[in-house]
Amino acid sequence: MVNLLQTGRCFQLGEGWVLFQPDMNRLMALNHTGKMVLDLLSADYEQDEIAAFFALHFGLSTEQAKTDVQTVLADLNTVEPLEIPLDTPTADPQKLSLASEIENLGTFCFGSYCVQIHLQTTLVNSVGIYFSRFYHRLIPPTAEAILLEILHTPEGFQLRLQNEVIATKDSSTELHERISELLLAWEHPHIDFLAYFHAAAISKGPRSVLLPGVSGSGKSTLTAFLVGHGFDYHGDDVIAMAINDGSLRPLPTQLSIKTGSWLLLESLYPTLPILPTVNCYGREVRYVKPLQTKTSGNAPSVILFPTYNKDSATQLSLLTPFQTMIRLLETSMNLDQPATEEKLAELIRFVEKTPAYTLTYNDLSNAKAVIEELLDYAD
């Protein structure tokens, strides 16, 4: 355990610290308690000795101190990525090249790249859903297209480009992350990235807003409403940040509008009622191509973490940089690989200089007014 933790380094950020573990591609936010446990571990103290120290200095019972230390250690050593359900292949791996077991999803345009995507049929109802958000990028078949194949083999989930394996991933989360990174690289060639955010991004004039959030928080509904009222749309799934200037580089997805928002947004998107419904990991959604689309945005003037709450009035709360980092990590932010201390330092500088807020809302018009006022006063 101690050796695992000692592979990382801590960087102070406001009232907390960021633990950087490059070998695990992992960032963690630590409060004072977590940092104290990490320091004691690094000084070769055993778990029982750390618990005794806590009991003595914080007036805890020995049992309570042991429980608290065990909880901190579990958090420090546990990595449990959310798995996206994928079908299990039933076909003989030796027969994956047969036409009956491969489905052609079509040819898509990403930047200047034409990409024909072939998918193992056992993955159509899972990975295929991922690509349904790019159907606005479908183009007629062309001989110039490069071939991307996605297969589930005994070695793991494989990505093959022009018949060469470019990645093998053990988990569905890693698979989707690698596909997103590949599409972003095609969409934004010659751009070196700093980090990837699970977020939406919008802009008005020269000012951009990054809206990170977990699924179901209300970020996609708010984004669709804002875009329907004149904001420019960048994306609402994965947003990359360029390392040289902090500009936002979106994955070019359509708007994802979930069933609970269809009636609410129908007046802004008249085609919404007739669009096909997609069952996306247990939730019914419809994908809409917005009108005011931009393929890149300036460095964000503000970071907003939106949450819809029908029982709460619209409320804006300022976050400290450390609180912002915690929120970003909770929404699946990752450094670009290979992760380095230099990239982390740049990310910390971005978090320190960019104002960030939580936005709780129960009325979309009020939320829009708050965001517009924020941007009016942004530097």
Tens-place pLDDT, residues 207-239: 999 999 887 788 999 999 999 999 999 999 999
Long-range pairs for 54-57 at CB < 8 Å and ≥24 separation?
Answer: none
Examine the domain organization and report whether 170 and 201 are in the same domain: no
State which of 155, 187, 219 marks the end of a domain: 187
Where helices occur in the chain by DSSP H, the ranges are: 2-6, 32-42, 47-58, 62-77, 127-131, 172-187, 219-227, 262-265, 321-330, 341-353, 364-376
In CATH, what number is assigned to the domain containing residue 368? 3.40.50.300
- Give me the domain span that covers residue 30: 2-77
Examine the domain organization and report whether 144 and 177 are in the same domain: yes
Examine the domain organization and report whether 227 and 150 are in the same domain: no
Nearest to 271 by CA among 284, 281, 282, 257: 257
Residues in the chain: 379
In CATH, what number is assigned to the domain containing residue 38? 1.10.10
Whether 9 shows a pLDDT value over 90: the answer reads no
**pLDDT at res. 233:** 95
Average pLDDT in the chain:
86
For residues 140, 143, 144, 149, the Cα torsion angle rounded to the nearest 10 degrees is 80
Whether 298 shows a pLDDT value over 70: the answer reads yes
Range with lowest mean pLDDT among 74-88, 154-168, 299-313, 339-353 = 74-88
**pLDDT at res. 20:** 84
CA distances from 306 to 154, 232, 242, 315, 316 (A): 41, 18, 23, 10, 9
Range with lowest mean pLDDT among 41-50, 153-162, 366-375 = 41-50
Q: Return the structure tokens found at 303.
A: 């970071």
Examine the domain organization and report whether 215 and 329 are in the same domain: yes
Whole-model pTM: value is 0.86
Examine the domain organization and report whether 7 and 106 are in the same domain: no
Whether 73 shows a pLDDT value over 90: the answer reads no
Whether 174 shows a pLDDT value over 60: the answer reads yes
CA–CA–CA angle 363, 369, 370 (5° rounding): 90
* Interval 91-141: pLDDT, tens: 344 444 444 489 999 999 999 999 999 999 888 888 888 899 999 999 999
Nearest to 216 by CA among 126, 307, 277: 307
Examine the domain organization and report whether 339 and 221 are in the same domain: yes
Residue 53 domain-assigned (yes or no): yes
Helix 364-376 vs helix 219-227: crossing angle, to nearest 10:
70
Examine the domain organization and report whether 68 and 46 are in the same domain: yes
**pLDDT at res. 105:** 94
The domain tally of the chain equals 3
Residue 146 domain-assigned (yes or no): yes
Examine the domain organization and report whether 157 and 114 are in the same domain: yes
Whether 40 shows a pLDDT value over 90: the answer reads no
Examine the domain organization and report whether 348 and 215 are in the same domain: yes
Q: Return the structure tokens found at 234.
A: 């960048």
Q: Which residue has the tokens 């802004």?
A: 268
Residues with Cβ within 8 Å of residue 131, at least 6 apart in sequence = 105, 108, 117, 119
* Interval 308-324: pLDDT, tens: 988 888 999 999 999 99
State which of 47, 77, 107 marks the end of a domain: 77
User: Taking the CB of residue 203, how many other CB atoms lie within 10 A of it?
Assistant: 22
Mode of pairing for the β-strands spanning 207-212 and 300-308: parallel
Examine the domain organization and report whether 233 and 272 are in the same domain: yes
Residue 83 domain-assigned (yes or no): no
